[in-house]
Amino acid sequence: MTYRVCFVCTGNICRSPMAESVFRARVAEAGLEDLVEVDSAGTDGWHEGDGADPRTVDVLDERGYAVAHTARRFQPSWFSRLDLVIALDAGHLRALRRIAPTPEDAAKVRLLRSYDPAAGDDLDVPDPYYGGRDGFEECLEMVESASTALLAGIRDEVGGRAA
């Protein structure tokens, strides 16, 4: 049975496609591509149909991550097919839980940095869109750090399903 994860930010052109690319690479490195499906979306539809922000593509490319992306808006109906919905900041967390059809669906929504023990109380991945390149690099570091622990948690979940 496939475990499905969707990363969500505002417009689905910066943080969530970055998280999708990094996590997809982590899943592949772990040999779990057949068991874990990775996706991303935005809470709003401003950029639907657009590719990832060029700055996102640049920092991912420099670190060896592949990115093929078309922005889209998260739909409440997706909850039924997803196991985990990863919000990139507290605003996304609230928005996603608000549109969740059931309490069980709302419980599927978690903050990405909640998986990173080094994050402390600062669980938001800041939006780099209106800043410079350094914001995208900082965002990537946060995503990479949290992705390792997220993968460990999902590996345990996938292992439990296979047992």
Task: Summarize pLDDT for 111-138 with one digit per residue, the tens.
Answer: 999 999 999 999 999 999 999 999 999 9
What are the residue numbers of the active site? 9, 15, 127
Domain 3-162: give its CATH superfamily.
Response regulator (3.40.50.2300)
Average pLDDT on 36-62 reads 96
Q: Where are the domains of the chain?
A: 3-162
Q: What is the pLDDT of residue 23?
A: 98
* pTM: predicted TM-score of the whole model, two decimal places: 0.96
Return d(Cα 48, Cα 45) in angstroms, integer: 5
- Asked whether residue 2 carries a pLDDT value surpassing 90, the answer given is yes
